[in-house]
């Protein structure tokens, strides 16, 4: 049964330690990520923020040497490392958008309905409805509705990234992880994605990793600052940027290092 | 809103059995290959080992490796004892036991003695063709990797390499036969009737005659060299390109010429790679039969290539026995019986050991180079 | 570089190149080596064409002789005679298959008993001869030697008894009976062991019993067989006359060639006396044109006779068809009977078309060059070195090559791609470290070694499998030849698996890992990711792998030369899937087999080069298509 206390936290991370082979990359990270909010992770390159969010849907399992050495992650109260976890279901519930937009070499339509197809949805009308819905939510529908069955590679970079977001939300996940979704995009496309994020938080819990501090201020509710694998500071975005408690945080956001 | 309980697997998820089935099917095909390979080798080793092993030190039947290839005579003497003697030993036996009757005499071509001739022939063919191919191939690769810019010429060269690599070996046999055996120019005082063109020289009564080298070691080497040229070029170019651009830039920036740069800063680092991949080419050359059938190989030969020659270069224009061709002859031209098994399985085993050693060495070297040379 | 800018730089300035450039020389040296590849490719094409193109005029000339001498005329009738013979043989095979099928148990029992006995005599035979010799001629036989011989005999007996073949159709008691007979058998014994004889008699009587109800069928076959006797003898007579005409024509061709050589030589000689002599010789060599008209006229006189014989044969054959049994009980026999019946209407229509062909045939119709090309590309016969007429039709060779490739790829594609998928997607690093070197090692096995394995191991195993009772449902079993299309196909599969494997694995490897990551992040399982994302993305690469595998299979020589059975004949497709167990010849094999034995420059020699050109074009076409796919994949 799900306990009362975890009801508000979509993800609870407890004493998480994580290593690639011998190299420890996360040290005792503990935090709660609230539901229906945007949580941003900031920090210099290699601080472990991407690794941390890649732990939440266990996509790090793909890397042979990667392993959680201690601690746990609870998604809605369920420990995702318990042996009887339904990994595919977890990943369907916890969607992910990657740094480099990565649509499949398929048509736009097939990209969007991919998640549904592998979940076993076969009815054409269901797929069509879901595809339209997802593309509308991703603010892409008007741009692609006439060429749904052309290759996804014909789209611009920003469009491709929004397609990837549409692909994720088509499966109606609960949590959407975004690993620097704008890193490969130009400012205009970045703006669109940011608008999208703001509109999506009505329905989804969003976790975003970003290098861009102004992006964090623009679209996140809470911000976590990480440094060398430690969670240095975590709190409401306004507080982190205006009144950071830690010296390191302050140094980072004022641009003294990083 | 979703129910977190769904994250917990209840029993086997849908389609699990299908997944396991597909995975095991794929694994099955993979291990099928491994199994077949193991079975093949075991069979050859089991059948061939008696031919090349001996109970005494050094535990290898040296005679099989060092004796010339001869016809095998099998007969019973008057006591009913069965003898198996190679042709030379047989004539000695007959001379010693004059007047005795021999019974149930049978002869088996190519099955007596050892396989020194084929081994030597294959070694000569391999060395000759690899040297030729390395010389021309590495030079071509240097041009492609170091000098070439986009041009119609380079495009044509790359197309030619691609096409050469795909030509069936028997077509190389036809090519070698019509070009090296029948058409390349030779210096001679006595042009043959079928010469394509004779250019008389002013010196003596010598002429350059386009009449080919006949079936000979050098025709075979040339044919094989043409065949592996694309392999060597591709491998060498890859090794050259693996040398970081920075090495070249640094050398050029210090005033080195192109050639100095290549010689001092590129070749030394790519040489191990080139040599390793040429080992692989050696296994291929050593195993080819079709290209040498008409250009160099002969089924039976009494002398080793260098025996009975008036000048040392005569070796180049003599025909040779070759291990793969010998195996072909043993497999195709003589019936299998208990007396021919030693020659048949023995030759195959020796050949396989040779090829296996080469390819294992090249695999190990490749792995070492990959580990060592990381820039 | 604009010259104006350099005008002010003095000639001896350091930045100017000084004199002879060693660097440039080196550059040209390397460039010329790169150009060597083009030279080789051009040489290959030029020399293949040079040797090959002369084939078509030469073959046309041969076909012309074939017509002028009247061989073609005889072949019209002979073709029907051969068809008749084939039908007779089909019926005979059906007849014996029926009898043997009905007496299957007895047949196998007798064969196995005989095999036991043969194993024994094979081993002890030579010593037995020696013992008989020494006891027979010398009354004063040397007892010491005889003792040695007897000892040898016993040794060989023991050896033979230890290595007896299996006898699944004999009871243990029967086997024991034969073995005990062999155990006590003396060298002087001449009779077969009692049980062997008894089983042979049993077989004979069973066969006779089963032949009884088939007597009518037997009689029908016999009467059908004798129906063509007259046509046969007429053809025999005509054959003699046309063969001598052909020889005369060929001799005239040879003389003409000599004359041309002499004339050419005369043109090169400066000394007038010498030249006169050569010219005179050439004149003397000028052959009289052989008389083809007279024998042709007498051949033409036979036309009505031939037509009559054809009509008679047609009439009697048409009468035979309804007399054949409706069906036969044994599967194989029935198949043969049905094949014969199916061929019957074709045979009859050929027979009825023959008179028109015979009467309209004339030796004056010219033979165009295209006839030689068509005959080469669509000819169903590759007959060389025969006394009658050489034909160079590549259909039997091409069919063989294609069918072997079909078998090879049917095996190699699923196995090669399946294992590539497994190794690339699912195997642990340790598994990869085992599988990859093994496959690389298979690739390194020389093809001649594979061929050897095919002959001595695989073919024998296949034959042993094919006589097992439990496998008789397989079409084509028991196989007649242990070297056949299937054996060759299996070995070529083994050869092409590494090619397909490594290229397909490369293609899978080249799929960006972001695809797999995205797919798994969407909740796909490993198998779903592999089959829905990775494989579609690698598809053109995998297709290229298959095509390159096909190119390798078609171009492979040694394995097919050793293992395909080398029968130059279009396989009998009426055998259903059994067709794959028939021997065959291939495009590559024919070159390897015949090039060493043909006279340089002969039509046959040139034909082999044309086959080479064909191979060259086909394989390069396949490879070029494959590389197009590779390029598409890497874009």
Position B298 confidence tier, pLDDT thresholds 50, 70, 90? confident
Is the Cα dihedral C480, C482, C488, C490 positive or negative? Answer: positive
More reliable by pLDDT, B6 or A212: A212
Segment among B100-114, B236-250, C400-414 with least mean pLDDT:
B100-114
Beta-carbon pairs below 8 A across chains A and C: 67
pLDDT for the residue B123: 92
Q: At what angle do helices C459-466 and C485-509 cross, to 10 degrees?
A: 120
Predicted ipTM?
A: 0.90
| CB interface of C with A, residues 495-534, below 8 Å | 512, 514-525, 528, 532-533
Contact pairs from chain B to chain C, CB under 8 Å: 272
Q: Distance between CA atoms of B199 and A162, rounded to whole angstroms?
A: 76
C537/A104 Cβ within 8 A: yes
Q: What is the predicted pLDDT for the residue at C232?
A: 82
Q: How high is the pLDDT of residue C396? A: 93
Per residue in C170-185, pLDDT (tens digit) is: 888 888 888 888 788 7
Q: Check CB contact under 8 Å for A76 and B8.
A: no
Of A197, A202, A199, A224, whose CA–CA distance to A213 is shortest? Answer: A224
The CA distance from C353 to C376, in Å, is: 25
Give me the pLDDT at residue C245, please: 82
* CA distance linking residue B175 with residue B163, whole number of Å: 14
Q: What is the dihedral of CA A6, A11, A15, A20, to 10 degrees?
A: 160
Q: Is the pLDDT reported for residue A4 higher than 50?
A: no
Kindly report the length of chain C: 635
Distance between start and end Cα atoms, chain B: 52
Query: Which residue bears the tokens 């590759």?
Result: C382
Rounded Cα–Cα distance for residues C491 and C581 (Å): 14
The alpha-carbon gap from C576 to the nearest alpha carbon of chain B, in Å, equals 28
Q: Could you give the 3-state DSSP secondary structure of residue B288?
A: coil
Residues 6+ away with beta carbon under 8 Å from C553? C404, C405, C408, C409, C412, C492, C495, C496
Instruction: Please write the tens of the pLDDT for every residue from C137-161.
Output: 655 657 777 777 778 788 888 888 8
B204: left (phi over 0), alpha (psi -120 to 50) or beta: left
Q: Which of B322-331, B334-343, C33-42, C126-135 has the lowest mean pLDDT?
A: C126-135
Chain C residues with beta carbon closer than 8 angstroms to that of A62: 516-517, 520
A121 touching chain B per CB within 8 A: no
| Tokens linked to B292 | 């040498």
Looking at residue C389, the DSSP 8-state letter turns out to be -
Position B135 pLDDT exceeds 90: yes
Most trustworthy range by pLDDT among B21-30, B85-94, C213-222: B21-30
pLDDT at C418 over 90: yes
Please tell me which residue, B370 or C120, carries the higher pLDDT value.
C120
Q: In a mutagenesis test of the B interface, which of C558, C563, C613, C629 is the best target, namely the one with the most B β-carbons within 10 Å?
A: C558
| The predicted structure's pLDDT at residue B13 | 66
Q: At residue B304, does pLDDT exceed 80?
A: no
**B366 band by pLDDT with thresholds 50, 70 and 90:** confident
- Which of B289-303, C207-221, C481-495: highest mean pLDDT? C481-495
Q: Is the pLDDT assigned to residue C286 strictly greater than 70?
A: no
Q: Which residues, 6+ apart, have CB-to-CB distance to B74 below 8 Å? A: B82, B83, B84, B104, B105, B106, B107, B108, B339
Question: Quick one: pLDDT at residue C84?
Answer: 83
Establish if A57 touches chain C: CB-CB under 8 angstroms: yes
Query: DSSP characters for chain A?
Result: ---GGGSSEEEEEEEEEEEETTEEEEEEEEEEEETTSEEEEE-STTSSHHHHHHHHTTGGGGSTTEEEEEEEEEETTEETTSTTB-HHHHHHHEEEE-SS----SSBHHHHHHHHHHHTT---HHHHHHHHHHHHHHTT-HHHHGGGTTSBGGGS-HHHHHHHHHHHHHHT--SEEEEESTTTTS-HHHHHHHHHHHHHHTTT-EEEEE-S-HHHHHHH-SEEEEEETTEEEEEEEHHHHHHS-SSHHHHHHHTTS--
The tens digit of pLDDT for each residue in C586-597 reads: 999 999 999 988
Model confidence at B128: pLDDT above 90? yes
* pLDDT at A2 (0 to 100): 38
What CA–CA distance (Å, rounded) separates B306 from C158? 49
Report helix angle B169-176 to B217-242, nearest 10.
130
pLDDT band at C362; cut points 50, 70, 90: confident
Nearest CA-CA partner of C302 in C80, C81, C79, C73: C73
Handedness of CA C616, B329, C445, B370 (dihedral sign): negative
Is residue C490 within 8 Å of C458, Cβ to Cβ?
Answer: yes
In the predicted model, is pLDDT for residue B204 greater than 80?
no
* Kind and range of the H or E run holding B108: strand B103-113
Q: Which of C91-105, C225-239, C397-411 has the lowest mean pLDDT?
A: C225-239
Tell me the sheet residues that pair with A72: A14
Say which residues have a Cβ less than 8 Å from residue C260's Cβ, sequence separation at least 6.
none
Better pLDDT: C616 or B344: C616
Q: CB of A88 within 8 A of CB of A59?
A: no
A1 pLDDT above the threshold of 70: no
Helix (H) or strand (E) holding B86: strand B82-86
For B1-54, strand residue ranges (E) read none
Query: Shortest CB distance from C514 goes to which of A98, A114, A168?
Result: A98
Chain B residue with minimum CA distance to A85: B8
Mean pLDDT for the stretch of residues C421-442: 90
- Decide if B196 contacts B207 (C-beta within 8 A): no
For C387, counting Cβ atoms within 10 Å of its Cβ (0-12 exposed, 13-18 middle, 19+ buried), the class is: exposed
Q: Are the C-beta atoms of C339 and C574 separated by less than 8 Å?
A: yes
Q: Which residues of A touch B5 (CB under 8 A)?
A: 2, 78
* Chain C neighbours, 3+ Cβ pairs < 8 A: A, B
- Per-residue pLDDT at B374 exceeds 80: no
Average the pLDDT over each of B68-82, B249-263, C7-21, C46-60 and give the range with the smallest value: C7-21
CB contact under 8 A, C452 and B331: yes
Question: At A242, which CATH number?
Answer: 3.40.50.300
Closest CA–CA distance from residue C566 to any residue of chain B (Å): 11
pTM above 0.90, yes or no: no
More confident residue, B320 or C142: B320
pLDDT tens figures, A150-200:
999 899 988 999 999 999 989 889 899 999 888 888 888 888 889 889 888
At B28 the pLDDT is 92
Q: Which domain holds residue A18?
A: 4-253
Q: What is the CATH number of domain B116-170+215-372?
A: 1.10.3720.10
Average pLDDT over residues B114-140: 92
Find where tokens 């209407």 sit.
Answer: C345
| pLDDT score of C18 | 56
CB atoms within 10 A of CB B249: 12
For residue A86, give the nearest of B1, B2, B13 by CB distance: B13
Cβ–Cβ of C595/B173 closer than 8 Å? yes
Per-residue tokens: C161: 């008894």
The DSSP string of B126-188 is: HHHHHHHHHHHHHHHHHIIIII--S-HHHHHHHHHHHHHHHS-HHHHHHHHIIIIITTSEEEE
B175 to C449: CB separation less than 8 angstroms, yes or no: no
Q: In CATH, what number does C398-634 get? A: 1.10.3720.10
pLDDT tens digits, one per residue of C392-414: 999 999 999 999 999 999 999 99
Average pLDDT estimate for B232-259: 88
Residue C185 C-alpha, separation from nearest chain B C-alpha, in angstroms: 19
Whole-number percent of chain A with pLDDT over 70: 96
B50-73 pLDDT, tens digit per residue, is: 777 777 667 777 777 778 888 888
Give the mutation candidate from C448, C550, C620 for the B interface (greatest B CB count, under 10 A): C448
pLDDT digits (tens, 9 = 90+) for C441-475: 888 888 999 898 888 888 888 888 877 777 777 77
A102 close contact with C: CB closer than 8 A: yes
pLDDT digit string, tens, across residues A43-80: 888 888 899 999 998 888 888 888 888 899 998 888 88
Q: Are A222 and A34 in contact (CB under 8 A)?
A: yes
The chain-wide mean pLDDT, for chain B, equals 84
Please, what is the average pLDDT of chain A?
Answer: 87
Crossing angle for the helix pair C194-211 and C104-136, nearest 10 degrees? 140
């Amino acid at each position: 049964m799900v306990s009362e206390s975890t009801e508000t936290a979509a993800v609870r991370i407890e004493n998480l330690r994580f290593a690639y082979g011998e190299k420890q990359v996360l040290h005792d990270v503990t935090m709660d990520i609230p539901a229906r909010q945007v949580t941003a992770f900031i920090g210099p390159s290699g601080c472990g923020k991407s690794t941390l969010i890649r732990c939440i849907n266990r996509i790090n399992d793909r890397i042979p040497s990667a392993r959680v050495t201690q601690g746990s992650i609870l998604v809605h109260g369920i420990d995702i490392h318990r042996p009887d976890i339904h990994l595919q279901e977890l990943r369907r519930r916890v969607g992910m958008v990657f740094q480099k937009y990565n649509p499949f070499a398929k048509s736009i339509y097939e990209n969007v309905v991919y998640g549904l197809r592998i979940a076993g949805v076969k009815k054409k009308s269901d797929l069509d409805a879901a595809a339209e819905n997802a593309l509308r939510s991703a603010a892409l529908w008007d741009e692609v509705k006439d060429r749904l069955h052309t290759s996804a590679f014909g789209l611009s970079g920003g469009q491709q990234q929004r397609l990837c977001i549409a692909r994720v939300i088509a499966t109606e996940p609960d949590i959407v992880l975004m690993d620097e979704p704008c890193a490969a995009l130009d400012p205009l496309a970045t703006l669109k994605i940011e608008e999208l994020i703001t509109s999506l938080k009505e329905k989804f819990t969003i976790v975003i990793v970003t290098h861009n501090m102004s992006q964090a201020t623009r679209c996140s509710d809470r911000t976590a600052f990480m440094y060398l694998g430690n969670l240095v500071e975590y709190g409401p975005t306004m507080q982190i940027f205006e009144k950071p408690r830690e010296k390191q945080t302050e140094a980072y956001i004022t641009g003294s290092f990083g | 809103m979703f129910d977190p309980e769904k994250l917990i697997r209840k029993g086997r998820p849908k389609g699990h059995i299908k997944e396991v089935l597909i995975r095991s099917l794929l694994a099955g095909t993979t291990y099928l290959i491994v199994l077949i390979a193991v079975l093949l080798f075991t069979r050859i080793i089991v059948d061939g080992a008696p031919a090349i092993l001996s109970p005494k030190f050094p535990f290898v039947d040296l005679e099989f490796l060092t004796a010339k290839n001869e016809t095998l005579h099998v007969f019973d003497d008057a006591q009913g004892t069965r003898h198996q003697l190679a042709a030379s030993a047989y004539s000695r036996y007959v001379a010693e036991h004059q007047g005795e009757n021999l019974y149930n005499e049978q002869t088996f071509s190519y099955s007596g003695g050892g396989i020194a001739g084929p081994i030597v022939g294959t070694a000569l063919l391999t060395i000759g063709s690899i040297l030729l191919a390395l010389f021309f191939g590495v030079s071509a690769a240097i041009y492609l990797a170091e000098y070439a810019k986009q041009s119609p010429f380079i495009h044509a060269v790359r197309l030619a390499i691609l096409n050469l690599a795909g030509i069936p070996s028997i077509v190389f046999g036809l090519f070698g036969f019509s070009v090296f055996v029948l058409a390349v120019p030779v210096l001679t005082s006595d042009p043959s009737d079928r010469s394509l063109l004779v250019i008389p020289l002013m010196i003596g009564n010598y002429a350059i005659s386009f009449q080919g080298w006949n079936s000979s070691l050098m025709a075979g080497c040339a044919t094989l060299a043409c065949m592996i040229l694309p392999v060597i070029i591709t491998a060498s170019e890859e090794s050259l390109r693996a040398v970081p651009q920075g090495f070249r830039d640094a050398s050029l920036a210090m005033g080195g010429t192109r050639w100095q740069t290549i010689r001092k800063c590129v070749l030394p680092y790519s040489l191990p790679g080139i040599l390793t991949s040429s080992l692989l080419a050696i296994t291929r050359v050593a195993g080819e039969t079709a290209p040498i059938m008409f250009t160099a190989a002969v089924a039976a030969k009494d002398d080793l290539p260098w025996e009975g020659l008036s000048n040392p270069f005569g070796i180049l224009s003599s025909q040779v026995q070759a291990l793969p061709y010998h195996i072909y002859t043993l497999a195709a031209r003589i019936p299998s019986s208990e007396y021919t098994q030693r020659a048949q399985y023995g030759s195959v085993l020796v050949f396989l050991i040779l090829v296996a050693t080469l390819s294992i060495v090249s695999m190990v070297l490749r792995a070492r180079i990959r580990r060592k040379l990381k820039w | 570089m604009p010259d104006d800018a350099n005008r002010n730089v003095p000639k001896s300035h350091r930045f100017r190149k000084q004199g002879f450039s060693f660097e440039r020389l080196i550059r040209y040296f390397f460039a010329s080596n790169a150009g060597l590849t083009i030279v080789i490719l051009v040489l290959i094409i030029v020399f293949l064409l040079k040797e090959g193109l002369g084939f078509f005029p030469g073959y046309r000339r041969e076909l012309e002789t074939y017509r002028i001498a009247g061989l073609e005329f005889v072949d019209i009738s002979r073709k029907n005679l051969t068809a008749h013979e084939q039908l007779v043989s089909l019926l005979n095979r059906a007849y014996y298959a029926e009898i043997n099928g009905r007496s299957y148990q007895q047949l196998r029992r007798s064969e196995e008993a005989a095999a036991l006995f043969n194993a024994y005599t094979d081993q002890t035979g030579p010593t037995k001869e020696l013992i008989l010799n020494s006891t027979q001629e010398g009354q004063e036989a040397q007892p010491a030697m005889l003792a040695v011989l007897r000892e040898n005999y016993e040794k060989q007996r023991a050896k033979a008894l230890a290595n007896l073949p299996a006898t699944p159709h004999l009871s243990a008691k029967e086997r024991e009976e034969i073995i005990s007979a062999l155990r006590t058998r003396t060298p002087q014994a001449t009779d077969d062991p009692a049980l062997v004889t008894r089983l042979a008699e049993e077989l004979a009587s069973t066969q006779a019993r089963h032949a009884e109800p088939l007597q009518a069928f037997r009689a029908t076959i016999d009467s059908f067989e004798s129906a063509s006797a007259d046509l046969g003898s007429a053809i025999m007579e005509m054959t003699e006359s046309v063969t001598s005409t052909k020889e005369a024509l060929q001799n005239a061709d040879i003389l003409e060639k000599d004359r041309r050589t002499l004339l050419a030589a005369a043109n090169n000689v400066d000394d007038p006396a010498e030249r006169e002599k050569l010219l005179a010789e050439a004149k003397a060599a000028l052959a009289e044109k052989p008389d083809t008209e007279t024998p042709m006229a007498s051949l033409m006189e036979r036309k009505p006779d031939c037509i009559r014989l054809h009509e008679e044969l047609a009439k009697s054959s048409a009468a035979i068809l309804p007399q054949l049994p409706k069906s036969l009980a044994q599967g194989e026999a029935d198949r043969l009977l049905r094949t014969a019946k199916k061929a019957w209407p074709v045979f009859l229509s050929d027979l009825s078309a023959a008179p028109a062909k015979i009467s309209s045939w004339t030796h004056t119709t010219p033979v165009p060059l295209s006839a030689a090309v068509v005959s080469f590309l669509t000819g169903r016969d590759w007959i060389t070195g025969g006394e009658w007429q050489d034909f160079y039709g590549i259909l039997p060779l091409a069919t063989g090559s294609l069918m072997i490739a079909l078998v090879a790829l049917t095996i190699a594609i699923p196995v090669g791609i399946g294992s590539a998928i497994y190794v690339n997607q699912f195997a642990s690093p340790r598994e990869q470290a085992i599988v990859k070197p093994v496959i690389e090692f298979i690739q390194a096995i020389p093809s001649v070694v594979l061929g050897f394995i095919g002959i001595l191991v695989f073919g024998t195993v296949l034959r042993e499998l094919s006589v097992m009772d439990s496998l008789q449902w397989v079409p084509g079993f028991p196989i007649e030849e242990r070297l056949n299309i299937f054996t060759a196909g299996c070995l070529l599969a083994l050869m092409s698996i590494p090619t397909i494997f490594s290229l397909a694995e490369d293609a899978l490897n080249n799929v960006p890992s972001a695809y797999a990551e995205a797919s798994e992040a969407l909740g796909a399982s490993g198998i779903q990711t592999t089959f829905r994302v990775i494989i579609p993305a690698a598809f053109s690469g995998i297709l290229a792998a298959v095509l390159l595998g096909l190119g390798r299979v078609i171009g492979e020589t040694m394995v097919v030369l050793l293992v395909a059975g080398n029968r130059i004949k279009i396989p009998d497709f009426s055998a259903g899937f059994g067709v794959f167990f028939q021997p065959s010849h291939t495009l590559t094999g024919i070159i390897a087999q015949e090039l060493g034995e043909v006279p340089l420059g002969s039509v046959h020699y040139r034909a082999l080069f044309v086959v080479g050109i064909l191979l060259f074009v086909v394989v390069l076409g396949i490879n070029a298509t494959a590389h197009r796919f590779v390029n598409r994949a890497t874009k």
